[in-house]
Structure 1
């Protein structure tokens, strides 16, 4: 067997600092082994210890310069629980409205069109797969009456960086989304108005805020219709005409988790009380989220419970650059606040995030040993099953689609009606009209289905924003304009867990506090689990997706650039990256700027 090594470091246009090594059989064009790994340590969990929990809400937003509000919100939920405080209903609505804009409707289009989009642009397709480009020039776009591009090649040209129409429109509409969110958050990407039990947004002129927000939402409604039509056509073209249907497959049976998003104002507000009561009743509130919490294990939706997901998350460091803390650090709790054993008693409780301690231990990279700065994140179920799992738009939509929700009966189909919208002067007139849009959960997650799910997620987020605008107007009209409740830190030890959904997937924060000081804090960004190293329970989604990708480049193996592999990776969670790799040694620093 002749092998070709493809080594890409860094992978650009992606959140975080990632690299990829693949050994590819040149005859089958498929990898025989894969490593995808994080190359940077940051240490937020370390320097949060000893600080007031409310500080974590603002410090953890600095984890990301794009979706900082996702970490703000996960931390906010964790601290709400640890303090036993919840906002007034209008505070919940304002939290939902702001997040829908500054993270969801700002970030999803940016990921689709500016970060992942160039992989399907004329510049890349014409260079690496010229036969695909030739076919695109001949193929009518099925939804051309909606998005206005006559041929598939016209869409590809519009995705060219800087000069392409879609690229340019993304700049404009992402700015509009940020403007709407900043009306509530005060700034982007690090919200300044979020506090335990509420939000400090000035509502002296609530009408101005709601009008300004709604004006921008009407524009984004037209934009969502346009985007979904564009990506429906690109996915159709690659799947139906060019054999890309199974590229980037993760698991043939779903292993997925969603933390849920968009709290119901009355249900979440009712959680106000003691930390223990907050935890006891959180499932009732979480079940009413617009996007649902839940977990699939080996193809079965085993739980819809926020609390059961918390009990099931395990993290270890066998092949990651950290010291195992078991036996060296304290166990803060063996059970949740209701007395249920962590990890269902099926695995050592030391490896639940409430008990995990981050102890970095950099060593030389070993492909058969430690090679990754991301730890192993696994799902431990009641029956003893332990498995890697996937998070992201396709996971949260699939989890939502298989239970009753605002957009479906639980049969695997989501249907959204977006209202008539104005202000689409730079979009086709057709997107102004009311439109019914549909998404069907696919049987498994692939590169293109992950992209299509992200496009439909924009549709769902617009619909959720409208739902919350209506609720805000009703609350203000009825004089219910309070947003926050006072909070104090319990002197006893209490625990909090916060789940939310970043554009890239489930964000999970855990806090242990005592007397207003953080005793322990743990963070799972979406990428933490998606890029975690392989172990005896299997490959992470990133590595699995590359392992199930075939090279389609129409050049000799010595010229392969790995475009199919980075398409698979970027379909999960690309974001702005600095694309700088530092290698330190012999008193010199080498900086590599690579664009792929």
Structure 2
């Protein structure tokens, strides 16, 4: 479908502009806006998805033991996150507790996935939005200033000026861009050592893993992990320099992509010394995760209780292409602790697709509107691309304490040990003033270091199990005739839950909720915009181009800061349907030239 972008036609002086599709692995993202060029501000934004997936439909009737193999295919990027979450839900439903070694291995695989995916997105995709070629096209005045601005941490990352950093991010030819591609290779190898295959694990099962654990396995992983730690000692100061510069060069840039602090994190990386996967104990073992779950509203921690988080999830239809399931069967009326479960909870959801013509005054997307109900309001939580919500929640709870990570209540302190050419290094991610584009991106960098630090802890624990002769990695189980399960973890881009109901030994209901529907949701039943929409609306325009040559870089930075899967092309239209420029570009070049 070809969007027509033109003058709004309502006498407001607004100009309609659409980027559609920004294709992604999980659907096709479209961003439709009305821009006030006189005020240099986005007046309206609508986020659309033109693809219906339907996993919740065809999972019914399947053998529950196949759930992780099937749901892994939801995504070709974070499929292992889905497999892991599904296994967690199955462990609960089957009443099985994996051996400690199995959980350390899963943690190492998932940590490697965070390192791999955040690296390739940060340097080879979102980094392009800040590269020299892009800045030259959109803000030549900023580039001129960057040429004259020394990089404060040049001694740590090796680039003398901010412009040198920008040049290093130029696609294909940039030094740092190419180096990041090499890093993505060995971090993927780290994952495969632990889970067999990337991104659809071949050794991951309910009850544990099929990985054969040995000293050599952990040695191979650690050799790559230490290379990554050395890399991160350059990456963190490099991005601090780059993002701090944008605040200085463009006063007011903190408003780009800014929205109210409404963050959700479902926690990740279980501690097997506490986690037994029972619903009855979920509050306690959830708080022992190495990424602490939490709902953060206006900078304050509302809860870090996974049971409370679970019961607060609501699926609203709002402006999405579905019929309501009101009056349909309610699968779960009470949770295993006797708490009432809402009809709009994922355990009770029915997916009834109703395709129709897109209408921004009514229905306009295949994405539903997940919300978290705090007892009064249905909150449009976002994940901030994952890392900012994870670090914010973990920092506020102050529960994570290892040799390499300390959550302080107001920050997260990360210590990376001495590596081949660099000494022990300490980083501190401090809770920022804003939830905006730059801080989402900055958090992604710090969380890469965080994932490496947690991996060091888990590798030491796993190796200790092997050396002690505790090499069992799987525990047998039986599938019950009737069962209930929920898995909580963090996909790369944020919150991930899998809710499963078993009847007669088969799946009766199954609903996976990854970060995409939370972030890309439409206006809900109450008219509340989704996070992409909210973050883009009122975003100021700092681009120096005229409307006729407008690239929309500030809008793209706002959207991409959420890490909306992997965009591979942007189409830009303006003025009465006239095509200014249409460009299909290789993955990683989104936004260049339009």
Residue-by-residue CA offset, 1:542-582 (whole Å, 9 max, x unaligned): 1111113111111111221211111111111143345499x
Residue-by-residue CA offset, 1:402-444 (whole Å, 9 max, x unaligned): 012223454211111101112xxxxxx5xx2210111111133
SS in 2 for 1:292: coil
Q: Is the 8 A contact 1:115 1:575 kept in 2?
A: no
Choose which of 17, 23, 43 in structure 1 pairs with 2:54. Answer: 43
Q: Could you say which residue in structure 2 is the equivalent of 1:286?
A: 286
TM-score norm. by structure 2 comes to 0.91
SS in 1 for 2:22: coil
* CA–CA distance in structure 1, aligned partners of residues 139 and 94 of structure 2: 56
Q: Could you say which residue in structure 2 is the equivalent of 1:127?
A: 137
Q: Could you say which residue in structure 1 is the equivalent of 2:273?
A: 266
Residue-by-residue CA offset, 1:122-165 (whole Å, 9 max, x unaligned): 11100111001101111111111111000001111111111111
Q: Is the 8 A contact 2:321 2:364 kept in 1?
A: yes
Deviation at residue 60 of structure 1 after TM alignment: 1.0
More moved, 479-488 vs 401-410: 401-410
Q: Is the 8 A contact 1:3 1:24 kept in 2?
A: yes
Q: Could you say which residue in structure 1 is the equivalent of 2:353?
A: 360
> Mapping of 1:253-332 within 5 angstroms?
254-268=261-275, 270-271=276-277, 278-327=278-327, 329-332=328-331
Choose which of 354, 367, 373 in structure 2 pairs with 1:374. Answer: 367
SS in 2 for 1:291: coil
* CA–CA distance in structure 1, aligned partners of residues 93 and 197 of structure 2: 26
* CA–CA distance in structure 2, aligned partners of residues 16 and 174 of structure 1: 24
Q: Could you say which residue in structure 2 is the equivalent of 1:411?
A: 409
Choose which of 196, 201, 206 in structure 2 pairs with 1:196. Answer: 206
Choose which of 512, 519, 528 in structure 2 pairs with 1:523. Answer: 512
* CA–CA distance in structure 2, aligned partners of residues 592 and 144 of structure 1: 35
SS in 2 for 1:10: strand
SS in 2 for 1:509: strand
> Mapping of 1:131-142 within 5 angstroms?
131-142=141-152
Choose which of 89, 114, 121 in structure 2 pairs with 1:111. Answer: 121
> Mapping of 1:550-561 within 5 angstroms?
550-561=540-551
Deviation at residue 333 of structure 1 after TM alignment: 1.1
> Mapping of 1:13-32 within 5 angstroms?
16-32=27-43
Q: Is the 8 A contact 1:16 1:577 kept in 2?
A: no
> Mapping of 1:395-406 within 5 angstroms?
395-404=389-398, 405-406=400-401
SS in 2 for 1:118: helix
Q: Could you say which residue in structure 1 is the equivalent of 2:6?
A: none
Q: Could you say which residue in structure 1 is the equivalent of 2:436?
A: 446
Unpaired stretches in structure 1, ≥5 consecutive residues: 272-277, 343-348, 423-428, 582-590
Deviation at residue 14 of structure 1 after TM alignment: 7.9
Deviation at residue 592 of structure 1 after TM alignment: 7.7
Deviation at residue 15 of structure 1 after TM alignment: 6.2
Choose which of 20, 24, 34 in structure 1 pairs with 2:45. Answer: 34
Q: 1:362 to 1:580 in 2, by over 3 A?
A: farther
Choose which of 587, 590, 593 in structure 1 pairs with 2:584. Answer: 593
Unpaired stretches in structure 2, ≥5 consecutive residues: 1-11, 572-581
* CA–CA distance in structure 2, aligned partners of residues 389 and 575 of structure 1: 18
Q: 1:580 to 1:571 in 2, by over 3 A?
A: closer
Q: Is the 8 A contact 2:407 2:413 kept in 1?
A: no
Choose which of 476, 490, 496 in structure 1 pairs with 2:485. Answer: 496
Q: Could you say which residue in structure 1 is the equivalent of 2:238?
A: 230
Deviation at residue 249 of structure 1 after TM alignment: 4.2
Residue-by-residue CA offset, 1:448-472 (whole Å, 9 max, x unaligned): 0000000000010000000001101
Residue-by-residue CA offset, 1:476-504 (whole Å, 9 max, x unaligned): 11111111110111112x21111111221
Q: Is the 8 A contact 2:256 2:558 kept in 1?
A: yes
Residue-by-residue CA offset, 1:340-385 (whole Å, 9 max, x unaligned): 112xxxxxx2211000011211100001100111101111013x22
Q: 1:409 to 1:104 in 2, by over 3 A?
A: closer
Q: Is the 8 A contact 2:382 2:519 kept in 1?
A: yes
Q: Is the 8 A contact 2:318 2:523 kept in 1?
A: no
